[in-house]
Chain A
C-alpha cells in the first residue's frame, strides 16, 4: 500500500527527514524541541482543517473548536474522571469526532458561506461554555498542571510522542485523501451538483468529512496538552480558527503537506517576531499581502509547480 502511494525518491527524503527529527533532541536546545513539538501539534491541526477546506471545499471557519474540545476532553478525562491515560488519549479525539458529527448534522444542510457562518455561531457556543463554566472547565483561567503520564512529562518525551502521533496521523490522513472517499470528496469540492447526479449522497460524505477532520483536530488537541501541560478557552476561540485558515493558504491548500509548512512558518514567526514586538501580526499582515499577490497557490504549491513538470497538478504530489 505504501509502495503504491510513494515513489522511491519520496521515501528516501522522508527517511532522511525522519532520521534528522529523531536525532534532533541530542543536538538542539530544549527550547527548540518544545517549539518543534508545538509545530507538530499545530501542523497536524492545520492539515486536519485542510482535509475539509482544501480537499472537501467546505468553508470550515471554526475548526479550532474541535482542537480545544479534544484538549479539554483529554484534560477532563484525566483530572475529573481519573481515567487511565491510554484510554483518555484514545477517547479524547473520539469526543471531537462526535462533536464534529453533531455540529455537522446541523451545518452540512447549508452550503459555502452559510455553512461557515453557522459553524462559527455553534462553535462560539461551545467556546462560551468552556469560558464560563468555572466549576467544570476552570472558566477563563483554564486548567493547569494536568497530571500527564511520566513517559511524556519531560520535553523530550513530549517531543517524541508528538512526532510519532503526528506522523501516524499524517499518514492516515494521506491515505484517506488518496482513497475513493478522498476522490469523491474532491469531486464534491469541485462540483457538488454533479456529484449528486452521479449517485453520491453529498451530505453523508460531508458529515463523514466533519467527523474525520474533527477526530484529527482532537488528536492535535491532545498533543497540545502533552506539550504545554495546560488548557484554556483561547484554544477554541475563533481567532485561532482564522489563523489556521491562513496557515493552509500560506503553505498551499491544494497540497497535502502545505498546511504543515504554513503552520511551521506561522509558529516560528509568532515566536521570534513576538520577542521583539507584541504586534507580530503586523508582520503576518505583510506576509499575507505578499502571498496573495505573488504566491496564490501557497509556498509549497508554488515550489512543487516550479519543481514538477509543466502543468503538473500539485495535489497529486
Chain B
C-alpha cells in the first residue's frame, strides 16, 4: 500500500531522513521507533506532504506522492494526527471533526446551507466511536490533554482514510488513557479495516499492537521486521543500549 525507497531530507546539511525505506501492506499496523531526533516525525511530514523530500520515492497505492500538496495526499486516502496537539482552537469538538468530514465530502464551497445541518450524523458517529460523544459541544481548548489527543485521531478519521498515520498517539497520556487509546487503535483495525502507521516511545504499547516495526536511527532505516525479529536484532539492541533505553 505504501512503499518508501531511498528517501532523503536534509535541513541545512543535517540529514534528518537519510536513505530511509519502509513498506506498509494493506491492513497492517506498522510502528516506527527510534530515539529522539531519529527522524520519525520528519518521515511522517514527508509522507503527508508537509515537507518535500530532497530525493527518493514515496508510492501510495502504486502512485507517486512525494512532494505533492498535503490536501491532495489527504484526498488520496492518507490522514494523520500530530505529536503536539494541533486542533482548531476556537471551534467546538463537534466542529473540529466536522471540518474534516466536510472537506472529505467536498462540500467546502457550499455558501448558503447552514453547516449545522450537514454531516451531523457522521460526525457524531465518529465522536461516539472514539468516546468523545458526550463532549461534542465543548470548545476543544477546554478538553483534557488525553481527550485532545483522542480528538486528534477523531479529526483524522473524519477524512475516512485508508492509511492512518499517528504521531505518538499516547504521548503525555495517563496509563488508563494509553490503554483506552490502544484499545481504540485495535478496534479501528478490526472494525474498519484501517491500515495504521504510527510512532511511539512506549515500547510495551508498540510490541503489543504492531505487526511490523521499523527502527530508525539518525534518519536511516536500521531494521524493518516483525516485533520478534526486531527484539532479537543485535544492531537494534546496540543502538538502544547506546541511546540508554532498550526495547522491551
Task: Identify the A interface with B (CB < 8 A).
Answer: 1, 4-5, 172, 175-176, 178-184, 186-187, 189-191, 193-202, 205, 208, 254, 311, 313, 315
Contact present for B113 and A180 (CB under 8 Å): yes
Contact present for A201 and B71 (CB under 8 Å): yes
Q: CB-CB < 8 A to B115: which residues of A?
A: 178-180, 182-183
With A187-B88, A194-B87 known, 8 other A-B pairs at CB within 8 A are A5-B114, A175-B111, A176-B112, A179-B111, A194-B155, A200-B108, A254-B90, A313-B139
Known: A184-B103, A196-B71. A311 touches B142 (CB 8 A): yes
Q: In the complex, how many residues of chain B place their beta carbon closer than 8 angstroms to a beta carbon of chain A?
A: 43
Q: Which 6 A-B pairs have the closest CB atoms?
A: A199-B74, A190-B88, A196-B70, A198-B100, A187-B99, A199-B103
Nearest-CB residue, chain B, relative to A175: B112
Contact present for A186 and B91 (CB under 8 Å): yes
Between A and B, 9 residue pairs with Cβ closer than 8 Å are A4-B114, A5-B114, A176-B111, A179-B115, A194-B82, A197-B50, A198-B71, A199-B103, A200-B103
Q: CB-CB < 8 A to B232: which residues of A?
A: none
How many A-B residue pairs have C-beta atoms within 8 angstroms? Tell me: 121
Q: Does B181 contact A (CB under 8 A)?
A: no
Looking at the complex, which one of B69, B112, B155 makes contact with A196 (CB distance below 8 Å)?
B69
How many Å from the CB of A304 to the closest CB on chain B? 15
A193 CA / B155 CA spacing, docked (Å): 13
Q: CB-CB < 8 A to B80: which residues of A?
A: 197
A194 CA / B152 CA spacing, docked (Å): 10
Known: A181-B109, A184-B108. A198 touches B90 (CB 8 A): no
Contact present for A184 and B155 (CB under 8 Å): no
A187 CA / B101 CA spacing, docked (Å): 12
Contact present for A313 and B112 (CB under 8 Å): no
Q: Which of A5, A193, A198, A313 has the most CB of B within 10 A?
A: A198
Nearest-CB residue, chain A, relative to B165: A197
Contact present for B108 and A180 (CB under 8 Å): yes
A127 CA / B224 CA spacing, docked (Å): 62
How many Å from the CB of A2 to the closest CB on chain B? 10
A190 CA / B89 CA spacing, docked (Å): 6
Looking at the complex, which one of A1, A4, A187 makes contact with B91 (CB distance below 8 Å)?
A187
Contact with A along B58-71 (1 / 0, CB 8 A): 00000000000111
Nearest-CB residue, chain B, relative to A185: B108
Known: A183-B99, A184-B108. A190 touches B114 (CB 8 A): no
